[in-house]
Amino acid sequence: MAEQQPTPPPSHNAPVIKIDDAIEAIGMGKFQRRILWAAGLCFTADATEIMLLSFLSLTLQSEWGLTANQTANMTACVFAGSLFGTLTLGYLGDHYGRRPAFLLSCAIISVFGVLTAFSTGYSSLLGIRFMVGFGVGGLTVPFDIFAEFLPTSARGKHLLVIEYFWTAGSVMTPLFAFLTLSTSWRLFVILCAVPCIISGCLGVCLVPESPRWLISVGRDDEAMAVVRKAAADNGLNPDDLFHSSVKLKDEHVESSRFSDLLSKKWRKINILLWFTWIGYAMGYYGTILTVTRVFDADAVEGAADGGTPEFDYKAIFISASAEIVGLFVVIQTVDSFGRIPSQVMAYLGGGVFLFSLSMLADSANANVLTVLAFFGRAFEMMGSCVTWVSTAEILPTEIRTTGHSAANAMGRTGAFISPYLVGTNNPIKAVGAIMLMVHLVTAFCAYHLPESKGRVIGHIDDSNHTETDEHNEQEGSEMTFQYGSGSKTPVQPVV
C-alpha cells in the first residue's frame, strides 16, 4: 500500500484547527495500517461466521435429522441476533465510544463462536448462534473507526481495501470446510472463530479511541493526544505539525438518539439508506445461498435422506473467488465513477446474473452456471462494498455509528428473509424473478443517495447529486457540504 504524503494544516500559526485538517495533516501511514488489520480481521470474522452457515446447516441437517425449516432457522437466527446487536452496539459506539463497542463485539463473537463447538442440541445451537449474530451486528463500529482516521483523498480506496478481509473470509470458509467437515464440524466452527480472536487482541493493543468521537463529546485534549500519537506513528514530528499552542476546534454535539435519524434533517437520506441496505443484504446473501443451492442439490438431497452432504467445493470456491475480482475492479473505478454510479451498475448487474443463473439452473451445464455464479457474486461484492463506503461518508459524526448500525440492522432484516426466500421449497425460477425485482428497487434507492466522492466525511448536501457533482469538480475537495441550508464554505483553520 503506497504511503501518502502528509498535508500540513492550512495555517501553521493558527491556534485552533478543525479535526478534518488534523487528520489530513497526519497523512496515510503505519498508524492507519495497524487499524486496518484490526478492523479488517473483524470483516474476516463477519464473513466466516456468516458463510459457515451454508455448510453447517446441511451438515447438521444430516447429522441431527433436521427439517428444511429448521436449517433455515439456523441461518435466520444469526441475522436476527445481528439485528439486535447492530442497534445495541451501534448506540454504544455513539454514546460510550467507538473502541469499547469494537472490543465488546469482538469478545462476543469470539466467545460464542467457540462455544458453538460445544452445542449439545438444536435449541442450544440456536441460542449460541443468536449471540454470535449479536456480536456480528457491532462490526460497523470498527469500519467507522477506520473511516474516521482516513484523510479525504485516501478514504475511498482504503475503505474498499478493508473489504479484501471480507473476501479472505469468504474464501477461507470453504477451505476450512473442505479440510475439517469430513472429520468434525466442531473443529470447523472453532477455526472460523480464530479471525475475530486475533482482531480483538489487535484492537486492545493498537486501536485508540476515534478523535472525531472524542471531539464530538467535548474531550478535545484527548483527541489531540490521539492525533499527535498518530502523527508520530506515521514518522512525522507532532511538534512540527501541531505546536504547543495549537488546539482542536471544539465541535461538541448533543448526544444522538435513534429518533434523530428520522428528524427532518436526516429523514430522507436514512430512509433511502435503509432500503438500499435491505436490498443489498437480500441480494448478497440471497446470491450466496442460491449458488450453494444450485451447485449442491445432491448434497441437500443426501442430507434429507440421512446421508453425508457432498459439497461441490470447486464451484463454490470459484464463485467465492469472484469477490476478489469484483473488489479489485471497484477499487480501481470508485473514485472516477463515483459512489452512486458504482452502486447502481453493480446492483443491476448482480440482479441480471442471479436471474440468469436461476432461470438456467435446471438446463445449462456446470460451466455456464459457474460463469453466471462468478459474475453474479462479483457484482454483488462491488455493490455491497460501495454501499458500506458511501454510508460511512454520508453520515455525520454524531450519528455515524447509530445511523450506520440502523442501516446495517435493516440489512440484517433483509438477510433474515433471504434463507426463507431461497429455501429449497421455493421454485428456483421464482426465486430468480423475485431477486431481480429486489435488485431493481435497490438500484433505484442507491441512485437517489447523495454523492460523497471527494467530500469531507459527514458533510454531504442532500440535494440533487448530479448538480453537486458538477460543482464539486470545480471547487475540489476543499468544500464542506452542510445539511439544511445547502451552503458550501471552504475548509479553513479557525483563528
Contact 214, 220 (CB under 8 A): yes
10 Å CB burial of residue 157 (0-12, 13-18, 19+) is middle
Contact 94, 438 (CB under 8 A): no
* pLDDT tens-place values along the chain, 495 residues long: 455 555 555 544 557 888 888 888 888 899 999 999 999 998 899 889 888 887 888 888 888 888 878 888 888 888 889 888 887 888 888 888 999 999 999 999 999 999 999 998 899 999 999 999 999 888 878 888 898 898 877 777 788 888 889 888 988 898 898 889 888 899 999 999 999 999 999 999 999 999 988 888 888 889 888 998 999 999 888 888 877 677 777 665 555 566 677 777 778 888 999 999 999 999 998 888 888 778 766 555 554 455 556 777 777 777 778 888 898 898 888 888 888 999 999 999 999 999 999 999 888 888 898 899 899 999 999 999 899 888 878 877 667 767 877 888 888 888 888 878 876 678 889 989 999 999 999 999 999 998 877 666 655 554 444 444 444 444 333 323 232 333 333 334 443
Question: What are the distances in angstroms from CA 304 to CA 291, 293, 329?
Answer: 19, 14, 40
Per-residue model confidence (pLDDT) at position 36: 93
Contact 84, 106 (CB under 8 A): no
Q: How many other C-beta atoms can be found within 10 angstroms of the C-beta atom of residue 492?
A: 14
Beta-carbon contacts of 443 under 8 Å, excluding residues fewer than 6 positions away, are 343, 344, 347, 348, 351
- Assigned C-alpha cell, 485: 441550508
Residues paired with residue 480 on neighbouring β-strands, in sequence order: 489
Closest CA to 108 of 137, 85, 140, 131: 131
Rounded Cα distance, 93 and 102, in Å: 8
- Amino acid at position 151, single letter: P
Residue 107 sits at the vertex; the CA angle it makes with 140 and 279, to the nearest 5 degrees, is 30
Residues paired with residue 16 on neighbouring β-strands, in sequence order: 247, 494
10 Å CB burial of residue 272 (0-12, 13-18, 19+) is buried
Name residue, grid cell 512540527: 240
Per-residue model confidence (pLDDT) at position 400: 74
Per-residue model confidence (pLDDT) at position 357: 93
Burial 349-383 (b: 16+ CB within 10 A, else e): bbbbbbbbbbbbbeebeeeebbbbbbbbbbbbbbb
Residues paired with residue 481 on neighbouring β-strands, in sequence order: 488
Per-residue model confidence (pLDDT) at position 296: 67
Residue 138 sits at the vertex; the CA angle it makes with 142 and 172, to the nearest 5 degrees, is 75
Per-residue model confidence (pLDDT) at position 300: 53
